[in-house]
Amino acid sequence: MGLVNIRRSAVMIETIHHEGGPPPARPLRQGSALAVVRNPYAGRYEENLLPFMAELRDLGRRLAQDLANALGIDQVEAYGKGAIVGVAGELEHAAVWHEAGGWALREVLGEPKAIVPANKAVASAGYRLLVPLHCIHAAYVRSHFNAVEVGVQDGPRPDEIVFAVAMATGGRIHERLGGLSKDKISVHDGQR
């Protein structure tokens, strides 16, 4: 038995038709894919977390692929990742997802350059985490600053971790606060 043991997984999609203003030409679709995984280090300190991080790459790839397929891989414009560690774990157990989840998102989406934003927490079952989103090609595209709520009612149990990826097909509905727009990306360094 390996280090990654999944109890449950889910893909959740929502469609936003408007936020009180006129309906856009195309509704925004955003969602998450998550897995509830046993924490192999719950209740104890482990110096070397790298083997767990390496094994999580396959899970990251699967979650990213499932979500990209559900949204339409060619439609994805924003992404993020997050993890919720049960109370018998530590925040560093969530940090293993930075490399495993971020690498998987980039691989599945064709190697976009923008850093994958993240959030993490240590919490009890039912906790809801806001996973930050931004544009996959340039982190400073203001219209795409958003968040997707993730969580499961019965997890994470004290000895579990919820790992999640999130994506959206565009920026906020009715965005109108200026800043760099996606059609003005020019530097192609992942930022501008």
Q: What integer is the mean pLDDT of 171-184?
A: 91
pLDDT for 83: 98
pLDDT tens digits for 78-130? Answer: 999 999 999 999 999 999 999 999 999 999 999 999 999 999 999 999 999 99
Between CA 180 and CA 17 the distance in angstroms is 24
Query: Which H or E run includes 135?
Result: strand 129-135
DSSP 30-98: EEEEEEEEE-TTTTS--S--HHHHHHHHHHHHHHHHHHHHHH-GGG--EEEEEEEE-TTS-HHHHHHHH
Q: How far apart are CA 31 and CA 73, in angstroms?
A: 13
Give mean pLDDT, residues 18-47.
96
Please provide the average confidence, as pLDDT, over all residues in the chain: 96
For the whole model, what pTM was predicted?
Answer: 0.96
